[in-house]
Amino acid sequence: MDDTTRPSRPSRLPYAIAATGLVALVAFAWFARGWYQPVTAGSEAPPFTAFTLAGEEVGLDAFQGKVILLNVWATWCAPCREEMPSMERLKALVDDEGFEIVAVSVDARIGERDTSGNPGGDLAAFMEEYGLTFTILHDPSGNIQRLYQTTGVPESFLIGRDRVIYRRMAGPTEWDARPYVEAVGRLLDTS
């Protein structure tokens, strides 16, 4: 049989390339698995930085050793406005130096608009209007939303002294309701 009449054999090269690509993808997923951990109850709270109303940079480490109610919000958000008074009442109910409410606003700067077109908010005026005495921070970059993988505002995280997230809540919450007051109390007692 001469070479011109011999049936050609299918090339195995495409299969080898596909197999090599699959192995590379699985290896990458395995080594990068820590980069894509969801932020859920039971996971460690990601470190973040934001700014005080005086413009000083503050990070999660500033609240070391405390139980934290971390709230991501904005002044233009109606559910956020609905929720804020219950957070102030929770602060009064849980009068403990080991507990801190940290509300991080993702508002654009005053006079600017965020990527969705929402106007920047006046955080100091908002605090005064609602009589808020807990910690308000500002993150106009919205970086905290990426770090905590929020789905919108408001979204809150109850974080223990050990930096573990014990509860994640999307949407407005009545924080002074008994189950939340008790949850904070348990974290203060045990963590």
pLDDT digits (tens, 9 = 90+) for 134-153: 999 999 999 999 999 999 99
Q: Which domains does the chain have, with CATH numbers?
A: 43-190 (3.40.30.10)
User: What's the CA dihedral at 140, 150, 178, 90 to 10 degrees?
Assistant: -10
Q: Could you identify the residue written with the tokens 């905290």?
A: 144
Per-residue model confidence (pLDDT) at position 9: 75
pLDDT digits (tens, 9 = 90+) for 30-54: 676 555 678 999 999 999 999 999 9
pLDDT digits (tens, 9 = 90+) for 99-126: 999 999 999 999 999 989 999 999 999 9
Per-residue model confidence (pLDDT) at position 12: 82
Question: Interhelix angle for 123-130 vs 78-93, to 10°?
Answer: 60
Closest CA to 91 of 151, 129, 146, 134: 134
**72 within 8 A of 148, measured Cβ to Cβ:** yes
Q: How far, rounded to the nearest angstrom, does the alpha carbon of residue 132 sit from its chain's CA centroid?
A: 22
Average pLDDT in the chain: 91
pLDDT of residue 166 exceeding 90, the answer is: yes
Per-residue model confidence (pLDDT) at position 11: 81
d(CA 176, CA 16): 61
